[in-house]
Structure 1
Amino acid sequence: MGLADDRDLVPLGSGFDIVKRGYDRAQVEDHLERLDSDLRLLAADRDAAVSQTNDLARQLEAARSEIAELRGQVERLSLPPTTLEGLSERLQRMLRLAQDEANEIKARAEAEGGHIRAKAEADAGVLRTRYEKLIAELDQRRTDMEAEHRGVLEKARAEADRIVGEARAEATRLDEESLQRRTTVEEDFEIAMAARRVESMKTLAEQEASSKGEAERRLREAAEEAARVRAQIAQEQASSNAEAQRLVREATEEANRRRHDSISEATARVQEATDEANRRVREATEEANRRVTQASQKVDALRQLRNRLSQQLHAVSSALHDVTPLLDPLEEERPQPPQSSTPAPTAPSST
C-alpha cells in the first residue's frame, strides 16, 4: 500500500512536437503506451489493496473466533465443579482462591479482548477508509486518463481528417496538372505522328517502286527457272520411260522363263507323283491278295477242323450208344419185390 500511496498522479497533459502533417505519431503512440501501462499499474495496486483488505478481514474474523473460544474456556473454568458443602475449610479456601483467580483472569481476558476487538475494528476502519480513498483516487485517475485518451484520439482524428482533405486537394490538383500535361503530350504526339506519317508514306512509295522492280526481276528469273526445270523434267521423264520399258521387257522375259520352269517342274512332279501312286497301288493290291489268300487258307483249315470234330463227335455218339446196354444193372443187382406176411385163410369146419 505504501507504493500506491507514494505514487504521483499521471500527468494529464503532454506536449507533442509539431511536424508537417500534425503531431509526431511516434510521440503520440509512446504517450498512449505510457497511459496504458499506468492504467495497468493502478489496476494492480487496486487488486493488491483488495487482497490486503481481505487478508485483514480474515485475520479479524480469526481473532474474533479466538476471543469467543477463550471466553468459553473462562466461563467453563469459572463454574464451580461442586458445591462448598461437605468440603473442608482448606479446600473451600483453595476453591475460593481459584474462583477469584478465575474471575480475575476472566475480567483481564474480557478487557484484553475488548481492547483487541476495538483495535481490530479501528484498524479495519482505517483500512476501509484507505481502501475507499484509494479506489476513489484510482477511479479519478482512470476517468482523467480516459478523458485525456479521448482528447488525444479526437485530436488525432481531426488531424487525420485534415491531412486526408489536404491529400485529396493535392490529388485533385495533380490530376488536373496530369490532364493538362496529357493533353499537351497528345497534341505533340499527333503533330509528330503526322510528320512521321508523311515521311513513312514517302518511304513506302520508294520501297513499293523498288519492290515492284525486284518482283518483276524475280518473276523473270522464276519463269526461266521453271522453263529449265520443265525441260529437265521432260528429259528425265523420257529417260525414265525408256528405262521403265526396258525393265518391263526384262520382267516379262523373266516371268515367262520362270513360268516355263514352273510348268516343267510341275509336270515332272506330277509324273513322279503318278508313278509313286501306281507303285503304292500295286503294293496295296499285292498285299490285299496275299491277305485274302491267307484268309482263304485259314478258312479251309477251319472247315477241315470242323469236319474232323464232327466225325469225332459222331464216333463218340455211336460208342455211347453201344455202351448204354452195358450200363444196365444185373439180375442180382435189381431190387426184389416185397413178400406179404398175412396168413392164408382156413377152410370152415363142418359140424
Structure 2
Amino acid sequence: MSVDSRTELVPLRTWFGLRWRGYDRDEVDDYVAELEAELRLVTADRDASEARAEALASRLIAVQEENAALQDGLHRICLTPIDLKGLPERLARMVALAEEERREVIRDAQLKALMIVGEAEQRARKLDEEAADKRESIREDFRLAMSARRAEAMRALAELRSVALDEAERIIAEARVRGAGID
C-alpha cells in the first residue's frame, strides 16, 4: 500500500476489534480522530514551511543577482573619471576638497619622510663620530702600549748592556790578571 506523504504521514487504523472487556469504542474513535486531525495540521504546517522555504530561496537568488548587478554597476561607475563640469556645484566642491586633502596627505607624508631621513642622517653622523672617537681612543691606547713596550725594551736592553759591560770588564780584569801572571 503506498502512502502519499503530502496528505498522510502514516496510514492510520481507524477501527479496533471489540473484545469482551475491551476498550471503549467511542473513546478510541475520538482519540484516533484527534490524532488524525493533529497529523493533518502537522502535514499542512510542513507543506506551508516547504513552500515558504522555496519562496525564500527564490527570493534569495533574485536578491543575489540584483546585488551582483548593483556591484557591477558601482564598479563601472567608480572606474569612470569624474567630469567636474557635469556635476552639481556641491559635488564639485566635495571633489575639490577631496583633491586638496589628498595633496595635504601627500605633503604631510613627504615632510614625515624628510624628518625620518634627517633623523637617520643625524644618527649616522653620531655613529660615525662615535666610531671616529673609538678609533682615536684605540690608536692612543696602541701608541701608549707601544711606548710602554719600547720603554720596557729599552730598560731591558740597558740592563743587558750593563750586564754585558760588567761581564766584559770582568773578562778584561781576568785577562789582565792572567796576563800579569804570564809576564
Taking structure 1 as the reference length, what is the TM-score of the superposition?
A: 0.24
Indicate the structure (1 or 2) with the bigger Cα radius of gyration. 1
Taking structure 2 as the reference length, what is the TM-score of the superposition?
A: 0.44
